């Protein structure tokens, strides 16, 4: 796998992982409630499920062969199991950022929102532009 593909894959994997809260997958945000209509009826004294706060964070894995990895992330969208989309941010990074600034557990917030309990199948980020410079000074478009 070439370094650019590896870097993009690492970025997407890191973004996906950071989007998941401890013990919660991106696929199911249940907030301790169920949306299964066949489930037992809720106790009238039990409050209805409430929105859950999510935060999408940008991070990167340490590498020594990259000198600079600039990326401009635009729209960040969460896609529900039914195909419905929730725009979490119109401009995730608000211009170029160097991914190398977000290594070793450093993060940058891309989006934050309250979402309803449910099933979510995708987290989409539009990379508006990117530029990678190898450690030896070679620029990749």
DSSP per-residue codes, 14-51: HHHHHHSPTT--TTEE-TT----TTSPPPPTTSPPP--
pLDDT of residue 110: 94
Pairing of strands 28-29, 52-58: unpaired
pLDDT of residue 29: 53
pLDDT of residue 136: 83
Contact 53, 91 (CB under 8 A): no
* Cα-Cα-Cα-Cα dihedral sign, residues 103, 106, 111, 113: positive
Closest CA to 110 of 132, 126, 133, 122: 126
Give the start-end residues of each E strand in the chain: 28-29, 52-58, 66-80, 85-89, 97-98, 108-115, 118-134, 139-140
CA angle 108, 139, 64 (to 5 degrees): 60
pLDDT of residue 40: 55
Helix (H, G, I), strand (E, B) or coil at 3: helix
pLDDT mean by block of 10 residues, the chain; 141 residues:
47 43 45 46 68 93 92 95 92 94 94 92 95 83 65
Backbone φ, ψ for residue 24 (5° rounding): -120, 130
């Amino acid at each position: 796998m070439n370094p650019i593909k590896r870097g993009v894959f690492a970025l997407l994997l890191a973004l996906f992982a950071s989007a998941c809260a401890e013990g919660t997958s991106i696929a199911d945000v249940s907030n301790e409630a169920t949306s299964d209509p066949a489930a037992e009826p809720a106790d009238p004294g039990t409050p209805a499920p409430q929105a859950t706060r999510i935060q999408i964070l940008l991070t990167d894995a340490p590498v020594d062969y990259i000198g600079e990895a600039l990326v401009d992330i635009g729209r960040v969208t969460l896609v529900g199991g039914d195909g419905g989309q929730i725009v979490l941010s119109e401009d995730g990074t608000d211009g170029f950022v160097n991914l190398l600034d977000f290594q070793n557990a450093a993060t940058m917030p891309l989006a934050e929102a309250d979402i309803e309990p449910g099933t979510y199948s995708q987290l989409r980020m539009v990379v508006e532009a990117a530029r990678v410079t190898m450690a030896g000074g070679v620029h990749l478009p």
